[in-house]
Chain A
Amino acid sequence: MLRLLVHRARAQWPLLAALLAVAMVGPTLLGACALLVTRTAEQALEAAASRAAPARVDVTAYTVTVRGPDARSVADDTRRVLTSALAPFAATTAARASSMMRSLPATRAGGDGVPAETYLSGVEDLPTRAALVTGRWPRGAAAGVHPGVPQRSDAVRPAAPLEAVVLEPTARLLGLTLGRRVHLGAELGGDPSRPVDVTVVGVVRPLPGTGWDRDPLAATGYDLAYHDGRSVRPVHAYGPFIVDLATLLAGGSTIDRLEITAHPDLSTPTRRGLDTVAEAVLSADRQLARTLGDRVRIERVASRLPSTLLSARDQQQVTAAAVLTVAVLGIVLTATALALAGRLTAGVRADETALLSALGVSRGQFAAAAVVEAGALAVLAAALAIPASSVLHAGLTHLPPLAEAGLAVHPVVTGVHVLAVAGGALALAAVLVALSVRPTPVADDRRHRRELLARSGADVLLVAFAVIGWWQLRDQPTGSGSSVDAIRMLAPALLLTAGAALALRLVVPALRGVERLARRARGLTLPLAAFEAARRPQAVAAGLLIGLACAAATFGVGFDATWQRSQHDQADLAVGTDLALTLGAPPEAGQGAAVGAATGGTVSPATDRGVAVGQWLGNAGDVPRLIAVDTTRAESLLRGRLNDGRRWTDVGAALAPPTRATGVPVPKGAVLTLTGKATGTGKATDTTPLIVTPRLLLQDATGLRIPCDGAPVRLDGKAHPLPACATVEGLRLVAVSLPFAPDLGNVGFGFSDAWAELPAGAGDSRVAVTLTVPETPAPAPVSAPAPAPESASAPASGSASVGAVPGSPWSVTSVEPAPGQLGNPAVALARTPAGVQLKMTTTVGLKGPPDAARTLVATAFPAAGPVPVAVSSRFADEVSARRGSRLNLTVGLTPVSVRVSEVLPTVPSAPGAAAILADSDALSRALVIGGNLDLPVDAWWVGDPTRADAAVRAAALRLGAVTTRASETARLTGGPLRAGLPAALRLLVPATALLLLAGVVLHVTFDLRSRALEVARLRGLGMTRREVRAVLLGQHVGVLLPLLATGAAVGALATRVVAPLLVRSDTGAAPVPVALPIWPWAAEAGLLALLLAGCTLAVTAVVVVQARRVDVAYLRVAS
């Protein structure tokens, strides 16, 4: 038998070569996919780790309250713990420390009687974190001389004071100049170290995004109402005095905060190394606690590195699952092609088989021969597919997106890869064996019926499995879950196969219809082609393969488009705008203009904060989010897919106040003054002196509102200059907050204990406060008059004097919760030679409850009703809200009433979250009316940036992290961890096309060979060669066309039904927004045209060759 096999192989080598070629495709695809999900995936993980932003991989240890003598050892030990946790990777560390507050002599603090405090700081790599304005960087103290270390005698002070630099505001407020020696008092803690002297050697300006937000005063340089935690009274805080870090740590000062950040060098990471580090970092907290013991009060290690790696693994698995889905599809297609080739081979060998059978060869011997032949084919296919897939994989990695993701590799062979290829080849060999050993079909009615039943049963089973697969796919959890899911892998292949099998059932009736039409034709060519196509069962023998291949190819293109679109949608929604600059520190006035100039786009400050909705604080770790931007420019600013054909302009228009607040222009550098007078309403002797700590709210050209805090001002009838608030051009004063308090000397600022200390006979005070704003040449006109105040709750809307000064009318109100403590509030605006004057009057009730706020707020806008908001559908579901619902939010500590005006699928930048979208102006107004002038701003949003390098320019501002839609899209579509899927889809389409062509060529070749005599007979009837070719071409193309059409229909159906379900987010959860099926008409039409052209070309070539071979002369032999 073996000899027969060898002889047959020699005789039928073209046939076996064809089988081998077909059998190679699947294992090659499988091998390439195996390399994608193993070698490339690991490389992707490493690439992702090496590209991760420092914030995502840094490990920071925080220690609180370190005794002076322990500071250095604590710092050293902390560094050691961190670097050992990051082993085997090298790590660099950077430390920042701040001492406990020390008293600052009153002479340095303005002498208003309020205690002043300051502190020392040490910052490693200070020149990279701050810019030197003047002077030089501080040097370390001389060896052996340490500030603050208790000396043998208090009378002995260090020989030389410490060198320090200060921030510009500190220098300005304390009047510090270079060379100035400052005496800092003792620490204000329980175990104070002794005073220390410093010499100012420089003035610096902090660089944004370099960790200054964690400075005790957030690098503002001062806080005139600082709470040091020792008393309810606020104090004046200045600082820091930045000294050399080593000197600080060695100096004996108690370190209030010590922060050491270790940055691992992940430039050449390994998977094992990353695993080790992730585990070590997770246990670093305990390790640090054990190491530091009671030398510190609190210690903590924080890092996003483990979660970064975990999330990278999730992404890796999500991609692997999708790639394996493609591989399964490829294998199913190859099996189908091989089944066709096997059937055709069996047909060719039918006579031989019959003869051997007649000679007494048993089925067992046939089976053994089939196993040997298929096994040899499998071995050969695997041997060829291993290097082929390796080269294919390498080639693929040199193309985008893998090449762009830095994943290009040379051809490699791995164990898993070899196993996958061998497994695939063996599975396909099994298909060949199964086909070879099945009994030869006998033309018998009963048999025919049985086969028909079996085929119908198989179809029904296939459809049932497909429906179950789709059902499972549809019902997969929406939450994260990235594990490779068998259902997800098999469902598309099942659906496509079932669809192609069912569609095939429709093709034959369709061909019969064509045949009926063709009968009417007069000639022979067309009817004969139609008859052949419709009546010969073998005509559609390759039907399943053609239909399935076409369905798979079109599905591949559709899935790719759906996936790409979904990634774009996800990116749009995740960023929420075109460019988001997330701030590392609170913004400053005029910053928006710089952002606008850098990007050339529409700029708006954006707020992204957690809020409480009534009593609801959200689910665990998932608080409701409030997003506030300038919605009057929603179309430019907001991104993300809306449903029902709505546009962001419409949504934004419903949220924004009808008019903008124009306020009072404040020229740059203008010195505002405040004059106030408090008069007792009863006898003159009852007059209680009052002070006010004014807060001004200034708005810049981009709509950013920044409060400017003034120092407490006595209402003594004198003009008091306010701090320099007008730092940039284009500012407008839009609100003033005046919290009144009794002036009882050096006591509180609007706090209950001040009211508690009031004399028993204290009565009400009539207060008149005038804020003078030096006038600009001409205040800007107002586009439209503001409507009358909506809020009737304001005790007395201001009687605004708008006749003298153009601009929006001013309103005045008294802040909750006890507005009744201020009577008859009023505001008037007038132009005087000194400038525009805002005159506010009210009666302050001194007898009311001491905890009641007595704060007058004057605003350049009316007190509006509930803030209109748009909420995400998830938010609406969670709180059972719908359009028109009224809700109470707590923003910070301020309650804000809102009204739901829109329910959106999701809110920009908060995909899938329970989120609220509001207009920042409307929200700010509500907060201001509630007495809160601080609308936190977390980012700058830029819409429609015109500069190509907007992101680079924005990053160069060093204000914070820059994210763009484009970069997020690129990350999602072409990032190392995501690029595997488009690459695999890129493999699928040509592989299916190749199999389709191979199947068509094989089928047509075998078909024409088996019909050689029939073709000769047609020539014998007098048909010319051309006519015969036309018949054959017409027949095959006539079959191809409906098969391709139904295949495309199945592909389209699968794209619509399955593709969106296969798209998952980074974490393996359902994407937000929901993926929409995309059927790229142009690409699909192009693909179909290519497939049709390719098939037609292949058929034509085969027909021409075969028709030439099988001439009429064939009759003389065959007949």
Chain B
Amino acid sequence: MSADPADRPLLTVRGVHRRFGSGPTAVHALRDVSFDLAAGTMVALIGRSGSGKTTLLNVIGGLDRPDSGTVLVDGADVTALDEDGLSRLRREKVSYVFQTFGLIPVLSAAENVGAPLRLARLPAAERERRVELLLELVGLADHAQQRPGELSGGQQQRVAIARALAASPRLLIADEPTGQLDAETGLSVMALLRGVVESEGVTALVSTHDPTMLALADRVIQINDGRLDEREAS
């Protein structure tokens, strides 16, 4: 008998292994990683450089496939999805926020935010309303027509967050979202993330070095040499 979907964790990672290369020079990026993530929580993933944070996020987001183990996102086995399934997953359930922002340079802030909505073929009026709402949410309503090149790093990351939220994903994966930002901007971006997790009911998995983030996270997962070392947020 299956569990009630409301009680089911949004993300389930079980026994994930990922190795790069082979033989004596092989690098074990992830070793038997398992954990669950409840819906509507903000989780910080921390660890040293090369500890396997990004690999874990890539595997969860379907950017990489584990050598073994399973990843369930909202009940869908990411590791079993084909290309189209992964595209659908990214379109409907999982969003990314990258350290380098990942905006499309030729699109304005509003168009970048609207891109996932266009992919979802939302009617133009509804799309515009949602874009406006999201840009207001990230405090960039006045910069809607500016292109990424015309925005500061913090503003670009805000646009990236707004775009990530546009299609109302269940899981938001952010890989070092404040890595290229100064402390103050980084803090505001993290506060924004915290805010949208609460307001949009999104589950966020954020890798970071920023200690201030730890205070904002509901839970902290530490990873060392590919192994999980979890501790609850204070």
Does A pair with B?
Answer: yes
Shortest CB distance A39–B (Å): 53
A760 within 8 A of B: no
The verdict on A1115 contacting B91 (CB below 8 Å), with A1014-B104, A1018-B104 known, is no
State which size class the interface on A falls in.
20 to 34
A956 within 8 A of B: no
B170 within 8 A of A: no
- By a CB distance below 8 angstroms, the chain B residues around A522 are 118, 121-124
Shortest CB distance A762–B (Å): 115
B64 contacts A1019, CB within 8 Å? no
B168 within 8 A of A: no
Q: Report Cα–Cα, A1025/B122, bound state, in Å.
A: 21
Smallest Cβ-Cβ distance to B57: which chain A residue: A1116
Interface size on B, residues (CB 8 A): 37
Q: Report Cα–Cα, A1025/B82, bound state, in Å.
A: 12
B188 within 8 A of A: no
Residue of A535, A1021, A1027 most packed against chain B (CB within 10 A): A1021
B116 contacts A1022, CB within 8 Å? yes
- By a CB distance below 8 angstroms, the chain A residues around B103 are 1017
Q: Report Cα–Cα, A281/B98, bound state, in Å.
A: 90
B63 contacts A1020, CB within 8 Å? yes
A3 within 8 A of B: no
A524 contacts B63, CB within 8 Å? no
Interface residues of A in 486-529 (CB under 8 A from B): 520, 522-524, 527-528
User: Measuring CB to CB, which residues of chain B are less than 8 angstroms from any residue of chain A?
Assistant: 54-55, 58, 62-64, 83-84, 86-92, 96, 98-100, 102-107, 111, 115-116, 118-119, 121-124, 163, 167, 175
Smallest Cβ-Cβ distance to A1112: which chain B residue: B63
Q: Which of A523, A1020, A1113, A1119 contacts B118 (CB 8 A)?
A: A523
Residue of A532, A1014, A1115 most packed against chain B (CB within 10 A): A1115
The verdict on A531 contacting B116 (CB below 8 Å), with A522-B122, A1020-B96 known, is no
> 27 interchain pairs (CB within 8 A)?
A522-B118, A522-B121, A522-B122, A522-B124, A523-B118, A523-B121, A528-B104, A531-B107, A536-B106, A1017-B102, A1017-B103, A1017-B104, A1018-B104, A1020-B63, A1020-B96, A1020-B102, A1022-B90, A1022-B91, A1022-B116, A1022-B119, A1022-B167, A1025-B87, A1113-B58, A1116-B58, A1119-B54, A1119-B100, A1119-B175
- By a CB distance below 8 angstroms, the chain B residues around A524 are 115, 118-119
Contact with B along A999-1018 (1 / 0, CB 8 A): 00000000000000010011
- By a CB distance below 8 angstroms, the chain B residues around A12 are none
B111 contacts A1113, CB within 8 Å? no
B102 contacts A1119, CB within 8 Å? yes
- By a CB distance below 8 angstroms, the chain A residues around B124 are 520, 522
- By a CB distance below 8 angstroms, the chain A residues around B64 are 1113, 1116
Q: Report Cα–Cα, A472/B175, bound state, in Å.
A: 66
- By a CB distance below 8 angstroms, the chain A residues around B175 are 1119
A1023 within 8 A of B: yes
- By a CB distance below 8 angstroms, the chain B residues around A531 are 106-107, 111
Contact with B along A1106-1119 (1 / 0, CB 8 A): 00000011011011
A1024 within 8 A of B: yes
Known: A531-B107, A1022-B167, A1119-B102. 13 other contacts (CB 8 A): A522-B118, A522-B121, A524-B115, A527-B118, A535-B106, A1021-B91, A1021-B116, A1022-B89, A1022-B119, A1025-B83, A1113-B58, A1116-B64, A1119-B175
B100 contacts A1020, CB within 8 Å? no
Which label, helix, strand, loop or mixed, suits the secondary structure of the A interface? helix
Q: Report Cα–Cα, A351/B100, bound state, in Å.
A: 18
Q: Report Cα–Cα, A741/B63, bound state, in Å.
A: 123
Shortest CB distance B195–A (Å): 23
B84 contacts A1113, CB within 8 Å? no
Q: Report Cα–Cα, A524/B90, bound state, in Å.
A: 15
- By a CB distance below 8 angstroms, the chain A residues around B167 are 1022
- By a CB distance below 8 angstroms, the chain A residues around B88 are 1022
Shortest CB distance A508–B (Å): 14
The verdict on A532 contacting B119 (CB below 8 Å), with A1019-B87, A1022-B92 known, is no
Residue of A536, A1017, A1025 most packed against chain B (CB within 10 A): A1017
Shortest CB distance B125–A (Å): 11
A1021 contacts B90, CB within 8 Å? yes
B105 contacts A1014, CB within 8 Å? yes
- By a CB distance below 8 angstroms, the chain B residues around A1113 are 58, 63-64
Residue of A524, A536, A1118 most packed against chain B (CB within 10 A): A524
- By a CB distance below 8 angstroms, the chain B residues around A527 are 118
Smallest Cβ-Cβ distance to B116: which chain A residue: A1021
Shortest CB distance A601–B (Å): 69
Q: Report Cα–Cα, A179/B15, bound state, in Å.
A: 132
Smallest Cβ-Cβ distance to B118: which chain A residue: A524
Q: Report Cα–Cα, A1116/B102, bound state, in Å.
A: 12
The verdict on A1119 contacting B106 (CB below 8 Å), with A1022-B87, A1022-B116, A1023-B87 known, is no
Q: Report Cα–Cα, A1027/B91, bound state, in Å.
A: 13
- By a CB distance below 8 angstroms, the chain B residues around A1023 are 87, 91, 119
B98 contacts A1119, CB within 8 Å? yes
Smallest Cβ-Cβ distance to A1017: which chain B residue: B102
The verdict on A1021 contacting B105 (CB below 8 Å), with A522-B124, A1116-B58, A1119-B98 known, is no
- By a CB distance below 8 angstroms, the chain A residues around B102 are 1017, 1020, 1115, 1119
Q: Report Cα–Cα, A535/B106, bound state, in Å.
A: 6
- By a CB distance below 8 angstroms, the chain B residues around A536 are 106
Interface residues of A in 1071-1119 (CB under 8 A from B): 1112-1113, 1115-1116, 1118-1119
Interface residues of A in 528-580 (CB under 8 A from B): 528, 531-532, 535-536
Shortest CB distance B126–A (Å): 10
- By a CB distance below 8 angstroms, the chain A residues around B87 are 1019, 1022-1025
Shortest CB distance A461–B (Å): 32
Shortest CB distance B23–A (Å): 22
Q: Report Cα–Cα, A1024/B87, bound state, in Å.
A: 6
- By a CB distance below 8 angstroms, the chain B residues around A1118 are 100
- By a CB distance below 8 angstroms, the chain A residues around B96 are 1020, 1115
Shortest CB distance B63–A (Å): 5
Residue of B54, B98, B106, B116 most packed against chain A (CB within 10 A): B106
Interface residues of A in 1023-1047 (CB under 8 A from B): 1023-1025, 1027
The 9 residue pairs across chains A and B that have the minimum distance between CB atoms: A1022-B91, A524-B118, A1022-B90, A535-B106, A1116-B58, A1119-B98, A1024-B87, A1116-B63, A1017-B102
- By a CB distance below 8 angstroms, the chain A residues around B92 are 1022
Smallest Cβ-Cβ distance to B122: which chain A residue: A522
Residue of B90, B100, B102 most packed against chain A (CB within 10 A): B102
Contact with B along A656-697 (1 / 0, CB 8 A): 000000000000000000000000000000000000000000
